[in-house]
């Protein structure tokens, strides 16, 4: 039985760990706080920046799935040490390093994003994320590790609670028939990464040697605006359409004085002010995982939220 190490247990990390367990892998999840074990999954309390501890935890592993991320407002200070520790653990153990990335490194672009775009971001977060991949890529090219990165857009789906996009600030309100507020232009086309598809892509590329050494985009459905996604969610939930209001920049500016997360969003506001569209055709031409139809995504998400709210979550 193979051993897989999953760093982080947010929406993508949890979905990846459970998919691996369902496939019969032995799974060890590393988080700072740890958790109670669940079928097929062992939880270990460890700061992944502790290279010695992480290397020990990863002994015997076939793959390390790097799905962890520092708190949003501490990216610049913590990402470099986390990335170095993860790369060192991959080198010491020989495990394939599968990195969950995002699209920040490209910066603002004028059309659909492909994997061939340069990492041209000028903001701190974009440069940090670009540097994480560049470090792993160079080590891969030197033959010191085997690495691959799978890049996702904003998460959507079961398990996604944090953030102000289509999560806790939106779905519970529309289920009660109340208006919702969104960042940026609610009518701008936007690509959403369905979390089960993210997990499927991460697990697939781990076992495909031809995938290693480069970046891939998660299989993604055609872009849908925030307003359209809210309409679909309301229709699936059987509630009347709700108003979708854009949060005024002045409100965000004031909130950012008191809330670090909102303050940090200023750098990436372009992702919601303008079209933000992912091209995943390269992945789809090479591998088997396909994006889940959007109607199914919406149904599963509404059902998940209703069950969570009914349970008092």
Q: What are the two backbone dihedrals, phi and then psi, of residue 29, each rounded to the nearest 5 degrees?
A: -100, 130
**Phi, psi at 211, each rounded to 5°:** -85, -20
pLDDT reading at 2 higher than 70: yes
Which tens digits make up the pLDDT trace of 79-98?
999 999 999 999 999 999 99
Q: How many domains does the chain have?
A: 2
* Percent of the chain surpassing pLDDT 90: 87
The pTM for the full model equals 0.95
**Same domain membership, residue 146 and residue 254:** no
Q: Is the pLDDT reported for residue 234 higher than 80?
A: yes
pLDDT of residue 200 exceeding 80, the answer is yes
Residue 272 and residue 188 in contact, taking contact as beta carbons nearer than 8 Å: yes
Supply the pLDDT for residue 253.
61
Distances (CA, A) of 148 to 137, 214, 287: 8, 6, 14
Residues 264-295: pLDDT tens digits? 677 888 999 999 999 999 999 999 999 999 99
Identify the residue whose tokens are 């290397």: 55
Q: Are residues 179 and 98 in the same domain?
A: no
Task: For the chain, report the end-to-end CA distance as a whole number of angstroms.
Answer: 35
Residues 87 and 168 in one domain: no
Same domain, 77 and 102: yes
Residues 100 and 184 occupy one common structural domain: no
Average pLDDT, the chain: 94
Residues 151 and 166 in one domain: no
Alpha carbon distance 65, 259 (integer Å): 30
Is residue 282 domain-shared with residue 271, that is, in the same domain? no
Mean pLDDT of 193-212: 98
| Local confidence band at 162 (pLDDT 50, 70, 90 cut-offs) | confident
Range of the domain at 16: 3-155+192-220+278-286
Paired strand residues for 194: 156
141 and 71, same structural domain? yes
Give 252's pLDDT tier (boundaries 50, 70, 90).
low
pLDDT at 305 over 90: yes
Q: How much is the average pLDDT of 297-306?
A: 98
What is the token pair recorded at 12?
Answer: 């993508």
In terms of domains, do 216 and 252 share one?
no
Would you state the pLDDT for residue 3? 97
pLDDT at 148 over 90: yes
- Do 236 and 92 lie in one domain? The reply is no
Indicate the range of 5-19, 160-174, 284-298 predicted with least confidence: 160-174
> Is residue 123 located within the same domain as residue 51?
yes
Residue 199's domain is classified under what CATH number?
3.40.50.720
pLDDT higher than threshold 60 for residue 258:
no
Among 176, 221, 177, 180, residue whose Cα is nearest residue 197:
221
Where helices occur in the chain by DSSP H, the ranges are: 11-22, 51-57, 75-93, 124-141, 171-175, 195-206, 226-237, 249-258, 260-264, 270-273, 281-286, 294-310
| Residues 54 and 169 reside in one and the same domain | no
Q: Judge contact between 27 and 20, C-beta under 8 A.
A: yes
Q: What is the mean pLDDT of residues 46-70?
A: 97
pLDDT number for residue 155: 96
The H or E element that residue 152 is part of is none
Residue 8's pLDDT is: 98
pLDDT at 73: 86
């Amino acid at each position: 039985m193979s051993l897989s190490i999953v760093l982080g247990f947010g929406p993508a990390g949890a979905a990846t760990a459970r998919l691996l367990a369902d496939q019969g892998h032995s799974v060890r999840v590393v988080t700072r706080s740890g958790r109670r074990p669940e079928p097929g999954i062992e939880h270990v309390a460890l700061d992944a920046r502790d290279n010695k501890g992480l290397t020990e935890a990863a002994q015997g592993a076939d793959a390390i799935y790097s799905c962890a991320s520092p708190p949003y407002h501490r990216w610049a200070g913590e990402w470099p040490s986390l990335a170095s520790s993860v790369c060192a653990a991959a080198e010491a153990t020989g495990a394939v390093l599968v990195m969950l990335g995002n699209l920040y490194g490209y910066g603002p672009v004028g059309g659909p994003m492909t994997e061939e775009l340069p990492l041209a971001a000028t903001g701190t977060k974009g440069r940090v994320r670009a540097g994480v991949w560049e470090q792993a890529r160079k080590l891969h090219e030197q033959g010191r590790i085997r690495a691959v990165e799978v890049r996702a857009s904003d998460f959507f789906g079961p398990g996604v609670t944090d953030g102000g996009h289509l999560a806790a600030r939106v779905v519970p309100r529309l289920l009660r028939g109340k208006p919702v507020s969104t960042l940026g232009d609610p009518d701008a086309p936007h690509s959403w990464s369905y979390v089960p598809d993210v997990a499927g892509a991460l697990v697939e590329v781990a076992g495909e040697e031809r995938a290693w050494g480069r970046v891939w985009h998660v299989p993604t459905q055609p872009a849908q605006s925030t307003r359209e996604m809210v309409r679909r969610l309301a229709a699936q939930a059987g509630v009347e359409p709700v108003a979708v209001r854009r949060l005024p920049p002045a409100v965000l500016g004031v909130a950012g004085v008191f809330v670090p997360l909102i303050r940090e969003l200023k750098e990436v506001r372009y992702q919601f002010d303008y079209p933000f569209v992912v091209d995943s055709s390269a992945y789809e031409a090479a591998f088997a995982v396909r994006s889940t139809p959007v109607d199914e995504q919406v149904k599963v998400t509404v059902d998940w939220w209703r069950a969570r709210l009914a349970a008092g979550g």
